[in-house]
Structure 1
Amino acid sequence: MTPRGIRRALALTTAVALGSAVLTACGDSSSAEPNGTVTVGVAGNIFDMPFRVAEANGYFTKQGLRIKYVTVTAATGPSALESGSVQFLNESPTGFLSALGKHLPHVAIAQDGGGNPLGLIVSTTFAKDHGLTSDSPAAKVAKALAGSTGGSSSANTQAEAGLFLKAYDVDPAGVKWVSLPSPAADKTAMKSGQIDWFVTSEPTPLAIQDSGDGVVVADPIKVPAWSAAQAGYGQVVVANSRFLSEHADVAGKVATAVAQATAYMYANLDSESVQTVARKALPGVPAEVVKASLEQVEWPKDAAMSTADWDRTLKFIESLGVMKQAPTIGSDNWTNDYLS
């Protein structure tokens, strides 16, 4: 039976059982609305915004749901989904495909962000020594990084930096890479002079630049390989197939609310309502940095996925070389059937 068929077949029983079934999974019945609370794993970055906007605009409430957030990492997210401590995961395609490579029964039910909102930030000293500014041509930036010391807190971002360098005939192997545990550690190491630069997702690079401690010299506008046009999906909403078979109606409600939010963001990104939600979700980040970070993601007008876009995403991830085996995705690993 297709997911849509499951959804119809379970409609009546879900109405009766949803409260107890979902609340048991979430363990939060005391604060739930009649239809219960669902728990979502998020990373605490710019890609969380569709869920935050859906909540602020009342899209989840209209679906009879309350949302509880749990902050997860690329390492902990899939296991949280498997254990049931979260019912949905807002996940990067790399994380999703890695989980599929481990034969985890995960299914993408919507896409809620395109491209890679990365920033390559150099120390103010390095920028001065090499005559770099935010407006420096990409080729000049890449040449300046040859033989430099880069920070690496993620295999993904190191590989994404490598794509940029190779596009301008700079060998990433010529960079001295310093492994660090987190972007925060990258920032500290750059400020102390241990590294010259690093790449990570926004808003961290722009926030560092705003504080005067660095200069963002590359972003998805300057690096086409990081853009949605070449990199494909940046974030997808994922659930466990077992949960979907038992709670198809809940999945439809979550996917629909997120789709409404991305469509709203697509049309109203600069609105005070979206900016206010984003500032609240990213406390301590200057308003102008939040605004600039939001603009680096391609927020989809339509959360539906396509084979062509998945092919583009797979090609990009394979080019990074961070997975032990070539990423693959089957027709049973993603569906638009939960989008109404």
Structure 2
Amino acid sequence: MRLLILGGTEFAGRAVTEAALARGWDVTVFHRGRHPAPKGAAVLLGDRLGDLDALADGEWDAVVDTWSGAPSAVRRTARLLAGRVRRYVYISSCSVYVWPQPAGYDETAPLVDSSPDAVDVPYAEAKRGGELAVLDAFGDERSLLVRSGLILGPWENIGRLPWWLGRIARGGDVLAPGPRENPLQYIDVRDLAEWTLDAVAAERSGPYNLVSEPGHTTMGELLDACVTVTGSTARLRWTDAETILAAGVEPWTDLPVWIPPAQEAYGALHGVDVGRATATGLRCRPVADTVRDTWAWLTSLGGTAPHRPDRPRVGLAPEVEQRLLAG
């Protein structure tokens, strides 16, 4: 397979690149050159918002695009490649659905309004606009829309799991947002990559929610795994959601990954129906493996994870944590 990856040097794009190379595929990455491409990939340099000259020639079986900025950039590349690429894979997001959604929502749920020509729009509209740009250029039969949920794993440049690992590694009493049995739904970035490549090879099309099955793990299992892999003496102090919310702590951002139960504003963030993906071979590794490998990657970098400049920092301020622990 001849695969073109737009990006390919960070997080999801890198995972897809490395998985494709491991399969012996012919992989080309198009990026700005700010980060080294995985060894074995051919490199084309350019800018999604400017110079696309390097994409003027060449033919590929598929293109994988992880772009989350202006939909107009997806439209430019999709139109440019439409006659020379068989299938366009767009790594989208479950954020494209109108929120909040009830538990069990699937690919038929209502979608946010957007435009493929949009330039400066919020994340949800950006991803939906990107989908529309792909559909406009490639049509339904040649477009694969991978609507990912929460993505964790090595190379994470958002900071969610790295924050928890770093905090627990420091030890002491750690505010653990309850309840312990609160179910989590996420996908390891490497499982996303493998399913995506399988779908490319099978010439699948249409939208797929891509995340683990509901209840794949729990908040307790995730944080226990963090304690285990770091070898920390940290003590998890489980605190009820009502106490945490009353202190003004923001779920998902101040306490990454965590969504309190029965919070209508967040909808079923950990309750997505993924029956369509599991029926086509989606398999998700245990949470212990994701945590262990993320910690190994993080320590290889000296403990400091890269961070996307277009995303806010996550994590609870130490003084807020101490106030809650003392309360």
State TM-score, norm by structure 1.
0.28
Structure number with higher helix proportion: 1
State TM-score, norm by structure 2.
0.29
